[in-house]
């Protein structure tokens, strides 16, 4: 396990609620080993900062971990990764699991929707194989594939995905998978944008009302803008898996490879 921590920096005004520390985790995509390592790094971070205080004051009374979605596809260990997330990997934490576009596509498929043209190109083969299915034997219409997935997908995994949320708020931060539509109030955002948007969100300089913490668009290192923080650092492509740590006005990052 290789763990690095980026330098601390302060946001100008943005805060999480007093007494709270938030760890937001970027796109996991079946990267079981990196998720285990990041969980260990988060627990070690809690121990190392407990009782000695940081810029924001004494240690927090409330710990929250927010996962930004895209747990499945591309990486080799979707099935075991979901088992980890469903279990109690971070005891003592409030856990918030957000919907990614990849989970949304799978749910639409098993609910009777068509197989998207890009589904296999977007890494679905890895998910099928993790459940013991050969992706090369299924017709494009998805009919037989749908039945096969339903037969192999554990009920606990389906319940987990159906319970995923589209957004979460902590103080001055709004967490979602992909981003938001500029000019639309946060409480009026379309779910498709929350799951899929890139532009015009990524280049927008609008004040969205809160700082948007998102994944979905891979970047080499955390991307910090006045109105957003992107933390999909491409773990499944050989990059690091990143957690953004928020406490008071403090922001920092834990990264594992």
Q: What is the mean pLDDT of each run of 10 residues along the chain (257 residues)?
A: 57 86 98 97 89 54 97 95 93 97 95 83 93 79 80 97 98 98 98 98 98 98 97 97 96 96
DSSP 178-229: S---TTS-GGG--HHHHHH--TTTTT-----SSEEEE-SS--SS-EE-SSEE
131 part of a folded domain: yes
Is residue 39 exposed (0-12), middle (13-18) or buried (19+ Cβ within 10 Å)? buried
pLDDT at residue 41, rounded to an integer: 97
Report pLDDT for 121: 84
222: tokens are 């955390």
Check residue 60 and give its pLDDT.
82
Q: Is residue 97 part of a domain?
A: yes
Q: Is residue 84 part of a domain?
A: yes
Q: Is residue 220 part of a domain?
A: no
- Domain count within the chain: 1
Indicate whether 114 belongs to any domain.
yes
Residue 160 domain-assigned?
Answer: yes
Q: Give the global pTM.
A: 0.93
Q: Which domain holds residue 112?
A: 3-11+21-49+56-167+234-256
149 located within any domain: yes
Residue 16, domain member (yes or no): no
Instruction: Quote the CA–CA distance of 2 and 28 in Å, as a whole number.
Output: 16
CATH number at residue 28: 3.60.21
Chain mean position to CA 99: 8
């Amino acid at each position: 396990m290789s763990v690095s921590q980026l330098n601390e920096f302060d946001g100008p005004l943005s805060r999480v609620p007093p007494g709270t520390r938030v760890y937001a985790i970027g796109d996991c995509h079946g990267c079981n080993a990196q998720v285990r390592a990041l969980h260990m790094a988060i627990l070690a971070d809690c121990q190392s900062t407990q009782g000695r205080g940081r810029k924001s004051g004494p240690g927090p009374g409330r710990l929250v971990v927010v996962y930004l979605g895209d747990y499945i596809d591309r990486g080799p260990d979707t099935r075991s990764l979901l088992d980890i997330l469903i279990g109690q990997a971070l005891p003592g934490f409030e856990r918030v699991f957000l919907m990614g576009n990849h989970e949304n596509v799978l749910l639409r498929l098993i609910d009777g929707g068509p197989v998207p043209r890009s589904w296999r190109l977007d890494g679905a083969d890895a998910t099928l194989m993790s459940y013991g299915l050969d992706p090369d034997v299924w017709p494009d219409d998805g009919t037989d594939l749908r039945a096969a997935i339903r037969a192999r997908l554990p009920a606990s995994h389906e319940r987990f995905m159906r319970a995923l949320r589209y957004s979460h708020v902590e103080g001055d931060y709004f967490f979602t998978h992909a981003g938001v539509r500029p000019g639309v109030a946060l409480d009026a955002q379309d779910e498709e944008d929350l799951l899929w948007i890139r532009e015009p969100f990524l280049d927008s300089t609008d004040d969205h009302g809160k700082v948007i913490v998102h994944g979905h668009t891979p970047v080499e290192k955390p991307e910090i803008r006045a109105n957003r923080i992107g933390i999909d650092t491409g773990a499944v492509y050989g990059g690091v898996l990143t957690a953004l740590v928020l406490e008071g006005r403090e922001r920092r990052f834990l990264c594992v490879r």
